[in-house]
Structure formats: C-alpha cells, structure tokens
Amino acid sequence: MTYRVMTVCTGNICRSPMAEVVLRARFTAAGLAEEVVVDSTGVSDEERGNPIDQRARRVLVAHGYAGGGGHRARQVEASELAERDLVLPMTALHARALRRLDPDANVVMLRRFDPSAPAVTDPRDERRLDIDDPWFGGPLEFEHCLAQIEAAADGVVAYVRDGLALG
C-alpha cells in the first residue's frame, strides 16, 4: 500500500516545497520511503512552473536537506485531493480552499501535528495554526518557517505510520 501526502501553500515555491522536502527526509529516516509518496502544490497558479524559491532552497541546504532542485510549482487540482490520503495546508485559507475543492478530502493543518502548537478545536480558529509566509521576509523568516515545519514533521510521520498499520 502506498500512502500519499500532499503539502499545500499559496504559490508552491516556499512553504509547501519546504514541507515536502522535510517530510520526505523524515519518512526516509523512519524507513518509510518506499511506502509514502510526498508531493506539493499551491492553491494559486501564479508561480506555475517556477522552481523552489532560492531563499527556501538555501535554508533547506543549510539544515542538511536536499534543496528541491527538480521542483516546479503547480496548482492543486480537485481530482488530486481524492487521490491523497493526507493533505497538509500551511494556512487556514489554504484549508478552506481545499475543502471547497473536495469536502471529503482528509485536509489537516500541518501545525496540528506540532505538539507545541496552540490547541484549536473550532475550525474557525484554525488561523492560529498558520505557518508564517516567509515570502516578504529575509533569512530569519525562512528559518522560522522551516522550524515550524520541522516541529510538525515527526507528528506527521507518526500519523502516517498509524495509517499504514491500519491499512
């Protein structure tokens, strides 16, 4: 059984490809690289075809990750959501857009898997789980974004491992 995970941000050049790279590394470290496929998309097509942002690539490489060299931004399509076991949006706005595309998709805010993230029970408060957009910032904002992604990554691995055991 292959478990499919998709990370989603706005343009698919910063947050979601960073999360894709981090999750792939964590699944590999957990011995799940053969069972789990991770990809990323954006809710917008404004960056379609563009590579990962160079600032995102630099922070990934500085922390020992692959730099996402073959990445090309693309917009999520409704048909893809039904093909994914877990869809991880970076913000509440992304989550709402995804749920409109496919109300049955398993859309879970990435930071829900961060044990130090705020406890959110009301979906209207999901914005408290937003991963900050580093686009308008500098190196520190990209470092902060990576830290938020990394804080949730092990929780995602545990969730997927449980899903594979049940499947």
For the question of residue 4 being annotated catalytic, the response is no
24: amino acid identity, one letter: R
Whether 167 is in a domain gets the answer no
Give the whole-angstrom CA distance, residue 44 versus residue 137.
20
Whether 130 is in a domain gets the answer yes
Among the options 14, 15, 24, 26, which is catalytic?
A: 15
For the question of residue 15 being annotated catalytic, the response is yes
Residue range(s) defining the domain that contains residue 33:
3-162
Task: Show Cβ contacts of residue 52 under 8 Å, excluding neighbours closer than 6 positions.
Answer: 13, 14, 17, 18, 67, 68, 69, 71
Helix (H/G/I), strand (E/B), else coil: 75:
strand
Q: How many separate domains does the chain show?
A: 1
Domain CATH number, residue 27: 3.40.50.2300
pTM (predicted TM-score): 0.97
Among the options 4, 48, 112, 133, which is catalytic?
A: 133
Whether 116 is in a domain gets the answer yes
Whether 132 is in a domain gets the answer yes
For the question of residue 132 being annotated catalytic, the response is no
Give tens-digit pLDDT for 107-157: 999 999 999 999 999 988 999 999 999 999 999 999 999 999 999 999 999
Q: 75 φ, ψ to 5°? A: -95, 140
